[in-house]
Structure 1
């Protein structure tokens, strides 16, 4: 019996054993980031931690930039599962505006915990917007804006809503701007309310 095939983001397929090996490499990368920080993550170190040759890592991810983007998707799986299948208000069952606000809070929470990893992935030298995780989040937010009957250019409004949630922006505001996490969340929620309820009184 042959192994089942799983779809890849580029439309190709991979065998289940290859998918397991991919998870092994990504788990090794996560462990290294926890120990050394993103700047200490190298293809050699991942290969050594996973117990494979460096060529295996390069064949699987192509480059460190490819590894970082794959790692970004890997670390966001829990958030994606929560907003697609979890309980409300983040998951299905709550009104779209409540779900959108819950998504933002959850996104800020991920950045607080894994901000350096996300920052490094966003600035890895490969297109941040090519990562499947980014596309999933974008589609989710755009769908919530439409469900909330928001008027205007939904695509551009989705970019506007997501931009303040990028790890690079959040970490700059926290460290260089010395803004508190609470202030960032309140400001983002105010932005969302102005977009979704433009005619509401101040």
Structure 2
């Protein structure tokens, strides 16, 4: 026969998980607010903790550092894009010719970068290997490499994959947008045009 006390550990664990989820939401909401107000490169973990109403240690335990917090801000949108690439409708998903899929992918990646340029740039600036420290970079690179190889097996897809997504470095994107006055539509058009030229689409 089950005893009432048997449920206590489960109840306690559930309560801890709920508290952790609330803290995570508060931290991400605080970081999003601070990034919108002043840019991700101008905030630190102490400011995020104060805005979220949590201890600094809570942030380090959950996210590791500021880069982890900022990366988490864009994680959901990155997962949505990855799902679309794997099983979404063409031309972004399977079923369209490789040139069309590459263009759709680069346009989607341009929009993702435009939406999160500040958070991405700040996160990558604080990581030891910069942009290349994040798993999403390798995912985007792999997708580009597969599509380029499908377009023309004679191309060096392994090398060109880095080239076609290089213009979407968040730091470069912000420089072009903020210091050179380039609009998102202009950047997107040139990213796609560059890919067409180097893959001979």
TM value normalised by structure 1: 0.75
| TM-align CA RMSD | 3.0
In the other structure, the counterpart of 2:184 is: 181
- 8 Å Cα contact 1:150/1:195 also seen in 2: no
Between stretches 127-136 and 175-184, larger displacement belongs to 175-184
1:77 is paired with a residue whose SS is helix
Corresponding residue for 2:82?
80
When you count helix as a share of all residues, which structure comes out higher? Answer: 2
* Equivalent residues, number: 187
1:149–1:162 Cα change, 3 Å: same
Residues 94 and 58 of structure 1, relative CA distance in 2, 3 Å threshold: same
Higher CA-based Rg: 2
TM-score (norm 2): 0.75
Q: Is the 8 A contact 1:22 1:60 kept in 2?
A: no
Q: How does 1:1-202 map to 2 (within 5 A)?
A: 20=21, 24=25, 25-127=27-129, 128-197=131-200
- C-alpha distance after superposition, 1:95-138 (max 9, x if no partner): 12111101111122222222212221222243221211112111
* 1:67 positional shift: 3.1
5+ long unaligned stretches in structure 2: 1-6, 11-16
Deviations 1:44-89, CA, capped at 9 Å, x for gaps: 3333454432212112233223433444434522322322232221
| CA 1:95–1:18: 2 relative to 1, 3 Å | farther
CA distance 1:19–1:162, shift in 2 (3 Å): farther
Structure 1 residue 19, shift from structure 2 partner = 8.5
